[in-house]
Amino acid sequence: MIRGSFSLFDMDSIIRRSGAERVGEDASIKLSEYLEDSGKEILFKAKQLSYHAGRKHITREDIVLAAAYVKA
């Protein structure tokens, strides 16, 4: 069962643009799951950053900073 909200077609396209000639459906599903999990982690950190700054909305800078923090 696919739990991600990214389309398999989009995941297939991303993988093919990276140089793959053939892409298995399981690869597209796994990429979708990974991107969703990573996105949730980044958004959780961005939410913490915005609240720490005294704001109720998340800005672009919060996302960029959170992505750098999660990546490190």
Q: Is the pTM of this model over 0.95?
A: no
Arithmetic mean of pLDDT, 30-56: 95
Q: Is the pLDDT of residue 27 over 70?
A: yes
Provide the residue type at 61 as one letter.
E
Q: What angle do CA 71, 59, 11 make, to 5 degrees?
A: 50
The pLDDT, as a whole number, for residue 5 is 79
Give residues with Cβ within 8 angstroms of 66, minimum separation 6: 42, 43, 45, 46, 48, 49
